[in-house]
Amino acid sequence: MNAIGQGTLSPIDLTTVGPGNGHPVVQPPVLGGSEHTDYYLLGDLLTDEQNALRQRVRDFMDQEVTPVINPYWERAEFPFPLVPKLAELGVAGFQISGYGCPGMSNVTAGMVILELARGDLSISTFAGVHSALAMMSISLLGSEEQKQRFLPPMARLEKIGAFGLTEPAHGTDVVKLETTARRDGDGYVLNGHKRWIGNASFADYVIIWARGDDGHVGGYVVEKGTPGFDAQVITGKTALRCVQNAQISLTDVRVPAENRLANVDTFRDTEKVLLASRFCVAWEAIGAAVAGYETALAYAKQRKQFGVPLAAFQLVQYRLARMLADITDMMCMQFRLSQLMDEGKFSMPRVALAKMHYTERARAILADARDMLGGNGILLDYHVARHLCDIEAIDTYEGTDTVQALIVGRDITGYNAFVPGLPPH
């Protein structure tokens, strides 16, 4: 006899046939603002327009992405045919106003990102790199001319962006970046290496962060096809397999002066972009957790063991209730953080606390969901294994939980534990 949660699912309500294998699988139900996930009715605090946009993004992910994403993930390929469809949603640029961007509030952007991540973390990461890193760099730090030139085609997803900060030897301590930018006539010459740069192998605009002759860090828009720019896709990943992370080599890459972001003076200017991106990643973690919970709940209601649904067992109900408690905690906390962001009362430590907490809880929820599905939990058809693998990358990028904890710890204690003995600022 199979153990509880193992074996194949009986072909009953809410089942479909898996692609090409004939096996019935559970698909995550479309719960919308249902009390099953939005237990404290936060959806009631949103406007009709916000709820409609959230549902539109959720429908897009359920109908266009979920049915096709697994083979791309398994082959480690990016789903390029989805980009024009994603463009039709009109969400690129998130909070940026003007230049063809939607100008969302942080609350609205958060709901959009949550729904993108609930469907697939590779798609949400692609959108985050493009909008929250590349486009936001130009929006926050570029001149008006640069915004007019770069942002409109990026808002239409006709041009794709990437963000090149991390280096092979510098991740957490990227403030020590070694890539150089030397002034030469009417432009700059870049030399160095970048690593883990999402979208870089096909991006039209890559924001490269490099240290100038004066020792200060600047941002440079390297356009596709520039000689000396070489991006090689990193293979062998077990997380975010659809995302095309690249190792970049810059060999005497010449960038015109008008492509240097006009309003960057020191490395601290990059923190404005990283704060916005880290906020988005926090929402991604919640979306992944919601995906795990919704799938586990649907499965538990349908999968029978000993003649009754899994959902009728006490232990299963306990586990589902704990998942929901974590999600409700995260949603309430992040909703308030989004309000503070809209009110201008934000700080890097507040965002770091959210990213640290949510990724840790999302990992636990997805691991629990995988276990509740038994053997089926390791199959891509059930849409938990992919999220479980992908959350490992979400936990790491934009700073690990340790880094986030030290940012918060420095803020609440006044001591800099990154380098003990140094002042906090």
Q: What is the CATH number of the domain that holds 178?
A: 2.40.110.10
3 versus 43: the higher-pLDDT residue is 43
What average pLDDT does this structure show over 311-322? 97
Q: Residue 425: its pLDDT value, please?
A: 55
User: How many domains, in total, are found in the chain?
Assistant: 3
129 in the same domain as 227: no
- Whose structure tokens read 């970048």? 194
Asked whether the beta carbons of 112 and 97 are under 8 A apart, the reply is no
Average pLDDT in the 183-206 region?
Answer: 97
Q: Which of 209, 240, 266 is the last residue of a domain?
A: 266
> pLDDT by residue (tens digit) across 10-42?
322 333 334 444 444 444 443 334 447 999 999
Regarding whether 175 and 231 lie in a shared domain, the answer is yes
Residue with tokens 């880290």: 278
74 lies in the same domain as 193: no
pLDDT digits (tens, 9 = 90+) for 146-177: 999 999 999 999 999 999 999 999 888 888 89
**What is each CA distance from 314 to 61, 193, 319, 361, in whole angstroms?**
32, 54, 9, 22
For the chain, what is the largest distance between any 2 Cα atoms, rounded to a whole number of angstroms?
A: 78
pLDDT tops 90 at residue 112: yes
Instruction: Give the whole-angstrom CA distance, residue 91 versus residue 95.
Output: 9
Give percent of the chain above pLDDT 90.
83
Closest CA to 395 of 385, 404, 382: 404
Same domain, yes or no: 52 and 97: yes
3-state secondary structure of 338: helix
The whole-number pLDDT of residue 271 equals 87
Which of 155, 173, 189 is at the close of a domain? 155
Out of 155, 175, 201, pick the residue that ends a domain.
Answer: 155
Type of residue numbered 385: A
- The answer on pLDDT for 368 being more than 80 is yes
Domain membership of residue 32 (yes or no) is no
pLDDT reported for residue 196: 97
Asked if 285 and 406 sit in the same domain, the reply is yes
Q: Are 207 and 135 in contact (CB under 8 A)?
A: no
Residue 227 lies in a domain: yes
Across 240-244, 322-326, 364-368, 409-413, least confident range? 409-413
> Which pLDDT does position 360 carry in this prediction?
97
Q: What is the mean pLDDT of residues 320-328?
A: 97
What domain range is 196 assigned to? 161-266
Exposed (0-12), middle (13-18) or buried (19+): which is 144, by Cβ within 10 Å?
A: exposed
In the chain, the amino acid numbered 258 is: E
Helix (H) / strand (E) element for 395: namely helix 385-396
| Residue 100 clears pLDDT 90, i.e. is over it | yes
Same domain, 198 and 329: no
Task: Give the closest residue to 26 by CA, choosing from 332, 379, 408.
Answer: 379
Q: Is residue 423 part of a domain?
A: no
Evaluate whether 221 touches 207 at the Cβ level (below 8 Å). Answer: yes
Residue 355: pLDDT over 60 = yes
Give the pLDDT of residue 421.
Answer: 66
pLDDT bin (cut points 50, 70, 90) of residue 422 is low
* pLDDT for position 10: 32
Alpha-carbon distance of 307 to 337, in angstroms, equals 45
**pLDDT band at 95; cut points 50, 70, 90:** very high
Nearest to 66 by CA among 19, 131, 100, 108: 19
- Burial class of residue 129 in the structure, from the number of CB atoms within 10 Å of its CB (0-12 exposed, 13-18 middle, 19+ buried): buried
| 126/144 same-domain check | yes
| Measured distance CA(69)–CA(135) in Å, rounded | 25
DSSP string over 293-315: HHHHHHHHHH-EETTEEGGGSHH
CA distance 377 to 137: 39
Q: Are residues 245 and 279 in the same domain?
A: no
Quick one: average pLDDT of 320-347? 96
Residues 275 and 260 in one domain: no
Mean pLDDT of the chain, nearest integer: 90
Instruction: Check pLDDT > 70 for residue 8.
Output: no
Confidence grade of residue 67 (pLDDT, cut at 50, 70, 90): very high
More confident residue, 359 or 31: 359
Provide the pLDDT confidence category of residue 423 given band limits of 50, 70 and 90. Answer: low
